[in-house]
Structure 1
Amino acid sequence: MFCDRCGNQAAEGDHTACAAARELEPPRFCPECRRRMKVQVVPTGWTASCVEHGTRTA
C-alpha cells in the first residue's frame, strides 16, 4: 500500500503531514498501485481516478 498524498510506501516513514493535508485536499496517488490519479475538484467535493483501479469520491 502507498500513501495517497506523497506516493511513498505507507508503512515507511512519517506520514503525519500527509494525513493532515488529506483532511483539506484530495488524494494525488492511487494507494494500490502508486500511479498519479486524475483529480477533479468541484464545490461539492472531489473525484480522483486511477486508470487501473477506478474512481474514488468524497
Structure 2
Amino acid sequence: MTELAGSALARRWCDRCGADAAVGGHEACAAARALEPPRFCTHCRRRMKVQVLPVGWSAVCVEHGELRG
C-alpha cells in the first residue's frame, strides 16, 4: 500500500465531510480538522477506518493506504 502523505495524487474530496473540495466553502471542515483526524479519503471519497491513539491517530483507506498524524 502507498503512503498518502507523500502521494502526488490530486486532492478532490474533503477529508472531513466527503463532499467535492472545489465546491462550496469548507472553512468549518478545516477548523474541525485542526482537532480531528480525517474521515474520508481525499482521492476516492471512501470512508476510512480511523483509530485515535493517545499519541496521535491513523486513518486507513483500503485503496490508498494509511495516513498518520
Give the TM-score category using the shorter length.
over 0.9
Could you state the TM-score of these two structures normalised by the residue count of structure 1?
0.99
Match of 2:62 among 21, 36, 51: 51
Question: Letter of the aligned partner of 2:51 in structure 1?
Answer: Q
CA RMSD of aligned residues (A): 0.3
Q: What residue number does 1:29 align with?
A: 40
The one of 36, 41, 52 aligned to 1:41: 52
Q: Which has the higher contact order (CA 8 A, sep 6+)?
A: 2
Q: Report SS of the residue matched to 1:32.
A: coil
**Runs of 5+ consecutive residues of structure 2 not aligned to the other structure:** 1-11
% identical aligned pairs? 69
TM-score (ref. length: structure 2): 0.83
**Where do 4+ consecutive residues of structure 1 move more than 6 Å?**
none
| Secondary structure, counterpart of 2:43 in structure 1 | coil
Corresponding pairs, count: 58
Higher strand proportion (structure 1 or 2): 1
**Aligned counterparts of 2:24 and 2:13: Cα–Cα separation in 1:** 11
| Structure 1 Cα separation of the partners of residues 47 and 54 of structure 2 | 22
